[in-house]
Structure 1
């Protein structure tokens, strides 16, 4: 089954490009359209109703571009809005959730840390997931300020280093052996985080799992693209400078008011 329509991907900003990258690497023939709602970042501090409204707006933007499936490359939007989106629209949605199950499976101390937004940690979906793992101690930490610094391009700043130490040092003292990155922005902090964590602590994110699920949905429901020579398209509703830098200037980034 073939389908040459694009895969639509949206996030509250530039962070979901870490998910886009995993999808593009696994499925290089697929046309992709990425939507960065940076003007409203971060979603993690907004109410459930606001997150749903923004997710609807993003979905309709991508559907207007004839996307065949939509990847919600945002933990907060997934955990707060995917149920509503699946009810409203007749298109497959793929969400992203903190990779708790892989961390629990890999943990030897049965103590894991999760760094995520307030919106993700407060969500019903996250609560239901963690309830399944009574034998594992899960240390939750809200990453206040991290998304804002990433959106400004201040990934390697002293402020970022200080924030990460304040969030990670207590987890290290609590003897975690796995750290789950519960926000699609956070993989861009892995070099910084790796310098702080002891070598034995594994860092786990959801990019590869989302890419594999996308492949599965294409195979079983939507259809793969034939050989595709078109480049990915990226839209942002703020200054494209940081998004261009994250993408290393390799792809077209368009400003779009939405």
Structure 2
């Protein structure tokens, strides 16, 4: 049996927010989301997804995640829930009984370096998963013995919704070393950066080009950090026409690949 290490990290006070980290022969997998719902939470989740306002907002967030390469997974019904029409616009989401976003990195040299620690440290900020949708719409379970299993951190009220989460949110893009650095930089500076700067809701955009430390080559050629007001603004930006065009442009210059990391901004000092 190949060696594997797993960790399912609970949210604060053992509530239902979960971050999952797995390292095995297939590489690294990091995910976060709603893993342990009670039946009454699933019922409220589906009612919210069915709502034309809240459901559309969740669909936008999910599409934003997909646009940056995250996979949307979870336990799903093979058929539609009882009473849901076949042509429901959010039928795929309504099938979910759990919902989480994740990404897998296949075995690469950097998995054996400090870069692994940096990526998992940033990803750990998703332990209150970026699907804040459930905080206000699903709430804690009222089932006996389950009240501490709030799906996204245990908010026990209806008042907070996605739009009311105002923590700044960042997208960090770590570009691998290209075969032709000059061509990469020319395209990034003249085409990609101006395109990304047009993302709706963008509040900050910085670029750094790491330099060697002694004889040690930097892990990445270029690091870009884009800041938005909150996760909802980020998701809307990535789902927009400009967001889709920016993502598609990666194929024109980032042939060596890039790693994306998303999460809220926490001021330390």
TM-score by length of 1: 0.23
Q: Report which structure shows greater RCO (CA 8 Å, sep ≥6).
A: 1
TM-score by length of 2: 0.23
Higher percent of residues as strand: 2
Bigger Rg over Cα:
2
